Amino acid sequence: YNYNFSPGEQREEIKSKLVKDVMGIAITAKSTANYSEVLSKLFIYDVGTIFIVDENNHLAGVTSRKDMLKLSRNADGQNLPIVLAMTRVPNVIYIYEDELVSDALRKLILHEIDCLPVVRDEKDGKVIVGKISKTTLIKLLLEMLEG
Ligand code: ADP
């Protein structure tokens, strides 16, 4: 517990945190990748969500562990394109860098998802600049509790 701040002050500090202050590194794969390439990224980077980008590096979709599990039941799943196992834009929920962390948290809860891409608008799409995951928020909570 941080005795330098009153509980009220601590709450104000958490409430004013921005997404860009706490976001993590997003792991991406190309929309041309196949199932097994994306699956190995899940293990190599030890993440639960991979963001899929198109040929312009713009957000195209998101693949989670459960999405991959579904495709794995297919006999020749290993060679199938990852686009068959992703939630596609415009159904992807995202957040901007200058939004509040509490808004990111609200989106995770509301949509029952583990991870949000942090994006920046470009002319014909959105580039991914980071991610906010449940782990990001648990780390933040611990930091706050320990001062
Ligand atoms: P898991 O599948 O490991 O439980 P999630 O709960 O995050 O992970 O994913 C559940 C479903 O929600 C999956 O079908 C996934 O594609 C989708 N999903 C995950 N993140 C997002 C997001 N940011 N926007 C929209 N859909 C998402």
Q: What is the pLDDT along the chain (147 residues), one digit of tens a residue?
A: 555 667 777 677 777 899 999 999 999 999 999 999 999 999 999 999 999 999 999 999 999 999 999 888 877 777 889 999 999 999 999 999 999 999 999 999 999 999 999 999 999 999 999 999 999 999 998 988 887
- Residue 3: the pLDDT is 58
In short, whether 53's Cβ falls inside 6 Å of ligand 1 is: no
In short, whether 83's Cβ falls inside 6 Å of ligand 1 is: no
What is the model's pTM?
0.92
- Residue 110: the pLDDT is 98
- Please give the distance of CA 67 from its chain centroid, rounded to a whole number: 15
- Residue 120: the pLDDT is 98
Is the confidence metric ipTM above 0.90 for this complex?
yes
Task: Assess contact for 100 and 18: CB atoms under 8 A.
Answer: yes
Beta bridge partners of 125: 122
Neighbouring residues of 102: CB distance < 8 A, sequence distance ≥ 6: 14, 15, 17
In short, whether 59's Cβ falls inside 6 Å of ligand 1 is: no
Identity at 40, one-letter amino acid code: S
- Residue 147: the pLDDT is 74
Counting ligand 1 atoms within 8 A of each CB, the residue from 23, 35, 66, 91 with the most, and so the one to mutate, is 66
Closest CA to 137 of 93, 97, 102, 94: 102
* d(C-alpha 27, C-alpha 14), whole Å: 26
Cite the DSSP H helix spans in 7-125: 7-16, 19-22, 35-44, 65-72, 101-111
* d(C-alpha 55, C-alpha 75), whole Å: 28
